[in-house]
Chains A and B, each alone.
Chain A
């Protein structure tokens, strides 16, 4: 339900530590502040879209089980050209996940419960604000406040194959129905179908660098929904595939990561009619980590995203400058600043609009 602004930068900083420690290592509490705003061209129907969020997360190891819990408090605002705006604020759902490690990182079993603590029963216009922020292309920190209760069980395994390491994973998600918003007819109930997800990954060393590829496939049973007036419908989501590739290496004291991914969603259909919601988002980028002092490193990054949905299109450049500061032996602080430049083309009448974005975040992580 959430997407981080500085995920790759933070991922990079974790590479220096034994990764299995993240399953069975020390616990940690993470919080902070994230803010992101996009402003659109003068003739676009929306002047700006902005969000700030406070993440609250904890990881607690209990024997061979690692339990983590996390949620956000977020405020999302959509501003129209006439400067009128609509804001939605509140907590998101809370996720509790347990991961049990079998052997020495050979297999991980996981169970994830999504607790419906997030905002629900909003007004239809309020939900529209959240829908606008759910875009994969804009990548806000919080892309949904509430999705209803769900339970996800999964298993992941990895094994060496020659000079490659192969990883396989699969999961099933069962969801309860929920009421995302209410309109004049009453509550709109949505029952998501079962989701099955599988992932194949492989990585290997090439010289002194590491190369990895991954492919994720998701498929779904039908979603059902009904309005307060008694009308019902079925939505059949299209399958989706994510292909990803990354390279991580070092140049002297500087660590470098390069990555590319593509998210393809086949169009779904509602009662036999194509929903015309095929989506394809392509991204490529790089993250560099430069040690400045013993306790400080600078992590600049750049990413290019290209959205090619069924209607319209858009591209976005994102430049980030983050610092990782080890304030004390246990406390790490990661402030970051972000700029976005891009363009969106509407499906009809086909006008292009510029996008300017700005973002700021600071994460605090205390290990224990």
Chain B
């Protein structure tokens, strides 16, 4: 192996290792040539390709990193390779491909820490992907306006709240969640997920804008490739709330269905169900008995828990993950049967930790040295096994040189002292008399 190559790779590794896994270090042209030669020399060696790919990634040569790591992953799936490939895709803005790489990593045998960090990265990546897709959709708005929407695809926009009670202002997010959940029970509809809706509205700067007019609703729906958009308003009037819902055709903004209902706030959940059923009737959608039965099910019957949950959703939309986590926990605490609050809380904690945006922890876990000792527990056990029960058969490949298993008789006879080898040529046994 050429000394120059060793020095080159060694120096660049030290530069990156000493500064931390995610620090970028420039690749000199000479090193770039050397890395390319490595790939040519060992085109089928997953270890070499992974090492080179990591170096490209650290130097922000994302395309080269992607190419090399893709081959490496095909040769031998490993957590390190899959994670760095995901990072390289992220570097190129290919979030969907990055997600696929992380999901490949997730299929491998992982430690709890690795899996948690991967989940965090995936949660953060989903958000990044949705934002990127929203921006892309807005950039291609002209093109999308002439493209027919996917049939039976529905987007539910956050409902606007009109009233004086600041305590109930987040109900719009909560009721939109209930509507989305109910519509999701119908097999003939495809729902746009809430996060995607949120990303589009955020990019259109429509979050918290109050009631969305038909043309805005249609526009946002087209950007989401939805055929229909459900929008709504909650008007609080004394002890009553009035729910006003409408379904818009995204092609021209026409109203396909519209309904209203007034209930006391304690009957909010009943009112939401009536609104949904009314809209479905007006749209002429066939609802099977099983689906109708499912529609009667409620996530919670505790209004205070629902208010906390709604506040949590609103906080999430503002990007306030810390507050959202506390509110979801409060909701789940008030009503332990409120599954959505618990699930949102779990996802929120991932979003909270991923909101730092840095993949440092994931990189640390995917670091080859970390992988070399990735199952450190196994190594501890293997070493322990060698020490507590040394065996020729099992330890031939894992023998530490520590003298764990010396024979005791030479010791008892004082004959294992190397300085005395010259005088033990003839054995002298002295048996002490008790």
Contacts and interface: CB of A to CB of B under 8 A. Distances in A.
**Is this pair of chains taken from one and the same complex?**
yes
Given A135-B418, A231-B431, A144 B392 contact: no
B414 to A, nearest CB: 5
Given A124-B429, A137-B418, A160 B48 contact: no
B431 A210 contact: no
Contacts of A197: 387-388
Given A124-B429, A205-B373, A346-B419, A3 B384 contact: no
B45, B367, B385 — which one has the most chain A CB atoms within 10 A of its CB?
Answer: B385
Nearest to B7: A252
Given A71-B392, A110-B389, A128 B427 contact: yes
Given A235-B412, A268-B412, A279 B417 contact: yes
Contacts of B373: 15, 203, 205, 210, 248
A248 B369 contact: yes
A349 B206 CA distance: 95
B243 to A, nearest CB: 51
User: How many A residues touch the partner, as a band?
Assistant: 35 or more
A210 B376 contact: yes
A299 B395 CA distance: 19
Given A55-B392, A105-B381, A225-B431, A290 B1 contact: yes
Contacts of A106: 377
Contact of B411 (A248, A265, A271, A294): A265
Given A135-B421, A143-B406, A18 B398 contact: no
Contacts of B11: 252
Nearest to B109: A18
Nearest to B405: A1
A14 B416 contact: no
B12 interface: yes
A168 B380 CA distance: 8
Interface string A264-280: 01001011010111010
Interface in A35-90: 40, 44-46, 49, 55, 57-59, 66, 68-72, 78, 80
Interface string B1-38: 10000101111111001101100000000000000000
Contacts of B394: 57, 59, 66, 68, 70, 97, 99
B290 interface: no
29 contacts: A3-B403, A10-B397, A11-B399, A19-B382, A22-B397, A30-B397, A57-B392, A57-B394, A70-B395, A105-B378, A128-B426, A136-B406, A156-B384, A158-B377, A160-B377, A201-B383, A204-B376, A210-B372, A214-B387, A223-B408, A237-B411, A249-B369, A251-B14, A252-B6, A253-B48, A270-B432, A294-B48, A312-B418, A347-B417
